[in-house]
Amino acid sequence: MKTQIDIVSGFLGSGKTTFINGFLENERLSKDRIVIIQCETGEIVIDDQLTEGKNIYVKSVLKESSFDAKYINEIVKKYLPHKIIIEHNGTKKLDDLLDMLYDRSIRKNCAINKIIHTIDAATFDIFMNNMGEILIEQISNSDMIVVNNAKGLTKNKLGNMEKTLKAINKSAEIVRAFIREEDLITVNRDILYHAGTKKHIKPSDILFSVFFVFILGYLLFSVSRSMDFSSLNIDLSWLQVLNTVFLSILIQAFPFVLFGVIVSSIMQIFISNEMIVQFFPRKKGLGFIVALLAGFLFPVCDCAIVPVAARLVKKGVPLPTAVTFMLAAPIVNPLVIASTLYAFPGQPSVAFYRIYLGLTVAFAVGLTFLFFSEKKPVVINRLEYITCRCGYCGENSIPKGFWGKIDAVFRHAGAEFFDVGRFLIMGAFLSSIVQTLLPKDILSNIGGGYVASLVIMMLSAFVLSVCSTSDAFIARTFANQLPMGAVMGFMILGPMLDIKNLLMLLGNFKKRFVIKLVLSIFGLSFALLLVLTKLFF
Amino acid sequence: MEAALKIVILVGFALFFSMLLQTGKVQLYVNPRIVPYVKFGIVAMIAISLVSIRDIFKPKRKVNLAPYLFFLIPLLMAFSLPAKAMDSTSMAFGDVKISQQQGSNADYFTPDDIAENRTEDTVQMSDNSPMTEEDSLSSDSMDSTQADPDQTDSRLTMQGDTIVMGDNNFVQWLQEIYDNMGKYEGEKIEVTGFVFKSKDFKGNEFAPARLMMACCTADLQPVGLLCRYEKAAELKQDTWLKVTGTIRIVDYNGEKTPVIVADNVVSTNKPKNEYVYPY
């Protein structure tokens, strides 16, 4: 049998050695040969009583340079241990250790069993703030997180901490341990023996099974089709239509999303926070103006703007400015202006009002976020911490050299693409269902007053809008039955908010923020359109 | 494993996109104007997969494959189901009232001063108009389509004394005719399109329509001129026809609307590309 390697990581004083002692206590009766490699020694030492007279060997490696694959191989050769426990140095990256353990010569004889991270609850916040990067790297690599010293904390605080941990590492099990000996031992027994076998039904498993059912259905379908069962003459043309519409949305959106994530990655790698923040002037008024017009230089569709806006916020641009930019850019986008002009030929005023009203709404929503400012961070950092813990995301670890940077841009863009893309795919799928199954004349048959038609058009913009460049053409089909103001509502809301956009927002921003954003977009654009279109039309 | 899956997805999409471009099927999905972006997408995806190649050999402990499933679904759909060319029934148009749709054209295609000036001098427009910023924009884009001598002008030349609305100029002619109804009254016209009927049509009315794609398949909508033809009732929805006739301006529900008075209607083959594009 291969030697099992367990890794215990955590900062100095977080309870690594105590944890190992607890484990050894459990192992008292077993005859397994165990080697403990300590890369760090703190106040607590491995209990002699537990190792005495048994096949347990404690090695300590204080010189980093001597701890390499060769060293491990020698230990394996010398002791032929059943288990190696590595007490990892908490200030080093876990990835480096893992890379070393993945060395071919080691993999022949050993397998990594469990990675445990210990946390001292009392100092977690402090470490998180100061050493966040390395802490997150370790947590995200762990299978199990042991929270020590949790007694002194309030339930609320503890809950928050565990939420943070979950956000960093969804799949790891979190175990609270108290410093009372017997608790620790039970916890440890759980950890190393039973926890691994515990099965949870995870959402991903459900997804997997749905997916397989889906594939199975597909196979059956294609088999039956290729065998030409005329008896199975079910009309599947709607499926084909759905498929075509779905793919067409993806085909036109993918390039824009790719463009968006590449721009966002270039911003991440090449442009420092200071430069970005300087581009959007500190002065609130000027910042807004730049935000409103920056979209003109940035001819992308509404699906590309979400990752870019999220990046701006991460880079330190004030939230109101970033929100304004996010909402204004798809409307002042030259392509969108051109499409409006095409859709309403001979009526440049329509395009003008669209821009004017769109900018007003964007500005108003920006102002809401200025006056009711968000105290807590709104951007989900999942992306940074989890999809790319390869060291090219942290501020200090940007690779040197032009090619290194280019490489990093594409890796980063890839990670971000897969992160945003799935929301796009879900959104595209939902809206293609709506597009194919919902008869379009439902809308035109709804009469009602001006207010009702405005609300209906705004809601249908959310459902029907596919891409900001085509909104104008869809809007035109309603132009005769509904007042111009309502059609305007469609064209203004569509680029700002639609199904796939909402899902992408949820992928990048915190839920609370998205709800607030959606409500203020709906509310403000409704109010503004109601008042302003009365003046114009 | 994770990296390999990533590369499979990216290369799969890139392959799918380039297959579409190769076979020209891309036109079933998106406006040709999007094609350069699609090409960019291919390049970007290949580039991303190239830099991910070395990750394959770097084992990772924790692999969460669930997010990637989302990408496999469309990929599977892309390769297993053929693209379907839409007809008027496949999109849930149901009974979109074409008269009203045409009416909407009439509303917004009505020649006003600007429209009449447009062909003569685009710069003049921005001089006269109070909205300078937007107008200079509009004149730019108008320039590119309306006044581009290579493209639109040649599209809008009459063949002999007949207007021929074909694959490349359908929408352009439609706009032109609505813009300058008076100019084209009495002209001969030849239109290829599919039969589109709606509840509101009278017995002798139908429209030889085409599906217009502004951006992608999701926004397809039928466009066309109303046509009066004695045997219109015998025509079956969605059959392809070539209609020859004369343009007349009539009063339709209170709007002046150009209609085709058909002399001759023959059935014809589906054109290679069924869609028409506004730009």
Q: How many cross-chain Cβ pairs, A to B, lie less than 8 Å apart?
A: 254
Closest CB to B74: pick one of A143, A246, A334. A246
Element (DSSP H or E) covering residue A536: helix A511-536
For residues A457 and A463, what is the distance between their CA atoms, to the nearest angstrom? 10
pLDDT for A146 equals: 82
For residues A246 and A431, what is the distance between their CA atoms, to the nearest angstrom? 8
Which residues on B lie below 8 Å from A218 (Cβ)? 76, 80
| Residue A101 contacts residue A108 (beta carbons within 8 Å) | no
pLDDT level of residue B279 (50, 70, 90 thresholds): low
DSSP bridge pairs for B148: none
If DSSP codes are grouped into helix, strand and coil, which group holds residue B216? Answer: strand
> For the purposes of burial, counting CB atoms within 10 Å of the CB of A101, is it exposed (0-12), middle (13-18) or buried (19 or more)?
buried
Which residues on A lie below 8 Å from B81 (Cβ)? 239-240, 243-244
Which residues on A lie below 8 Å from B13 (Cβ)? 254
Q: Name the nearest CA neighbour of A67 among A40, A47, A90.
A: A40
Q: Do B17 and A419 touch (CB under 8 A)?
A: no
Sign of CA dihedral A221, A225, A228, A232: positive
pLDDT for A187 equals: 53
pLDDT for B142 equals: 37
Surface of A (37-96) touching B: CB under 8 A? none
Tell me the Ramachandran region of residue B238: left when phi exceeds 0, alpha when psi lies from -120 to 50, beta otherwise.
left
Give helix then strand counts, H and E, for chain A: 24, 7
Instruction: Tell me the pairing of strands B162-165 and B221-224.
Output: unpaired
Q: Name the nearest CA neighbour of A108 among A78, A72, A66.
A: A72
pLDDT for B120 equals: 29
If DSSP codes are grouped into helix, strand and coil, which group holds residue A391? Answer: coil
Of the two residues B22 and B220, the one the predictor is more confident about is B22
pLDDT level of residue B55 (50, 70, 90 thresholds): confident
Using a CB–CB cutoff of 8 Å, tell me whether B75 touches chain A.
no
Residue A501 in tokens: 């956009």
Using a CB–CB cutoff of 8 Å, tell me whether A255 touches chain B.
yes
pLDDT for A476 equals: 72
Residue A81 in tokens: 């241990």
For residues B117 and A58, what is the distance between their CA atoms, to the nearest angstrom? 91
Q: Do A251 and B61 touch (CB under 8 A)?
A: no
pLDDT for B143 equals: 36
Which of the 8 DSSP states describes residue A399?
Answer: P
| Residue B38 contacts residue B25 (beta carbons within 8 Å) | no
| Residue A336 contacts residue A330 (beta carbons within 8 Å) | yes
Closest CB to A477: pick one of B73, B114, B221. B221
Per-residue pLDDT at B113 exceeds 60:
no
Of the two residues B209 and A428, the one the predictor is more confident about is B209
Q: Do B80 and A338 touch (CB under 8 A)?
A: no
For residues B57 and A431, what is the distance between their CA atoms, to the nearest angstrom? 39
Element (DSSP H or E) covering residue B252: strand B240-252
Closest CB to A422: pick one of B70, B110, B112. B70
Which residues on B lie below 8 Å from A342 (Cβ)? 141, 145, 214, 278-279
Per-residue pLDDT at B91 exceeds 50:
no
Q: Name the nearest CA neighbour of A82 among A2, A157, A28.
A: A2
pLDDT level of residue B84 (50, 70, 90 thresholds): low
From B245's Cα to the closest Cα of chain A, the distance in A is 26
From B216's Cα to the closest Cα of chain A, the distance in A is 6
pTM above the 0.95 mark? no
**In sequence order, what are the residues at sequence separation of 6 or more whose Cβ sits closer than 8 angstroms to the Cβ of residue A494?**
A461, A462, A464, A465, A468, A471, A474, A475
DSSP bridge pairs for B275: B211
Give the 3-state DSSP-derived string for A109-130, with helices as H, strands as E and coil as C. Answer: HEEEEEEEEEEEHHHHHHHHHH
Which residues on B lie below 8 Å from A206 (Cβ)? none
Q: What are phi and psi of A396, to 5 degrees?
A: -90, -10
Q: Do B65 and A241 touch (CB under 8 A)?
A: no
Q: Do A251 and B81 touch (CB under 8 A)?
A: no
Cα→Cα distances A37→A67, A68, A106, B107, B134, Å: 10, 12, 15, 82, 71
Helices marked H in A271-347: 273-279, 284-294, 302-314, 319-332, 334-343
**In sequence order, what are the residues at sequence separation of 6 or more whose Cβ sits closer than 8 angstroms to the Cβ of residue B229?**
B204, B205, B206, B235, B243, B245, B262, B265
Surface of A (303-322) touching B: CB under 8 A? none
Closest CB to B137: pick one of A214, A337, A419. A337
For residues A205 and B200, what is the distance between their CA atoms, to the nearest angstrom? 52
pLDDT level of residue B67 (50, 70, 90 thresholds): confident
Surface of B (239-278) touching A: CB under 8 A? 278
Which of the 8 DSSP states describes residue B150?
Answer: I
For residues A27 and B130, what is the distance between their CA atoms, to the nearest angstrom? 87
Of the two residues A49 and B248, the one the predictor is more confident about is B248
pLDDT by residue for chain A (537 residues), tens only, comes to 778 888 888 887 777 887 787 777 777 777 778 888 888 767 777 777 777 777 778 887 777 677 778 888 888 888 888 888 888 877 777 777 887 787 777 777 788 888 888 888 777 777 777 766 777 778 877 888 888 776 667 777 777 777 777 777 777 777 776 554 445 555 554 555 444 444 445 556 666 677 777 777 776 666 655 554 444 444 556 677 778 888 887 887 788 778 878 887 787 777 766 776 777 766 667 778 888 887 777 666 676 788 788 878 877 788 888 888 888 888 887 777 877 887 776 678 888 888 888 888 888 888 888 887 666 666 665 444 433 333 344 444 455 667 777 887 888 788 878 877 777 787 778 777 776 766 555 555 555 567 777 888 888 888 777 667 667 777 776 666 677 788 888 888 888 888 778 888 887 788 888 888 899 988 888 888 888 766 665
Element (DSSP H or E) covering residue A361: helix A348-371
Instruction: Determine the residue among A96, A240, A248, A467 to mutate to test chain B binding: the one whose Cβ has the most chain B Cβ atoms within 10 Å.
Output: A248
